[in-house]
A and B are shown apart, each in its own frame.
Chain A
Amino acid sequence: DAGITQSPRHKVTETGTPVTLRCHQTENHRYMYWYRQDPGHGLRLIHYSYGVKDTDKGEVSDGYSVSRSKTEDFLLTLESATSSQTSVYFCAIRAEPGQLLSGANVLTFGAGSRLTVL
């Protein structure tokens, strides 16, 4: 396995509560990503990180924040969960986008975290 784990794998919470999802990697990859997967929308990028303390927004970042204080950990926080954030969340890692021939620009995914907001 590629050495990427997500926790928790399943969570049920109530509207208005804070939620934090954790992505942990053992590959020392520079880039880390959070996507959400919803029927009819495929995968949509929430936030990504290109180094410790370096993060940027994706296409659906409203209502989400992220932090990366160590290379191996990338946290996704929903400050006040809403029912529209019920989804499956995937973390992915990528070594180096510019290295096209070595395979280092390929995304490797975690197993996903299923979040239900009641």
Chain B
Amino acid sequence: GNSVTQMEGPVTLSEEAFLTINCTYTATGYPSLFWYVQYPGEGLQLLLKATKADDKGSNKGFEATYRKETTSFHLEKGSVQVSDSAVYFCALGGYQKVTFGTGTKLQVIP
């Protein structure tokens, strides 16, 4: 079946540092890939998505590229802010189900 593996957290960075959160997947067919973000005490909200190989999703300075050859969808941001502190989830969208990774907590310190 489909599965998503993302790097363990927590990740602690200083403000303006470069962020990478790794995500790899196993899937049949041609799934869509997503990154969701969860701020403290809230539900998940979509951060970005990609629907086919080599697509790049981007939003709020975050980017991720759908790499079919390496089955990866790593999240990157060039300069993180304190307001980016949250839990980030990689997800794989099959036709009916959406499968999530375990989440990576990011803490950005001033």
Contacts and interface: CB of A to CB of B under 8 A. Distances in A.
Contacts of B97: 45, 48, 58
Contact of B96 (A31, A43, A100, A103): A31
Q: Which of B36, B44, B96 is the most central at the interface, judged by chain A CB atoms within 10 Å of its CB?
A: B44
Contact of B89 (A40, A42, A92): A42
Interface of A: 31, 33, 35, 40-45, 48, 50, 56, 58, 90, 92, 94, 97-98, 100-101, 103, 105-112
A92 to B, nearest CB: 8
Nearest to A107: B98
B56 to A, nearest CB: 15
Given A40-B102, A41-B102, A100-B51, A109 B95 contact: no
Given A98-B95, A107-B46, A111-B42, A43 B100 contact: yes
Contact of B102 (A42, A92, A103, A111): A42
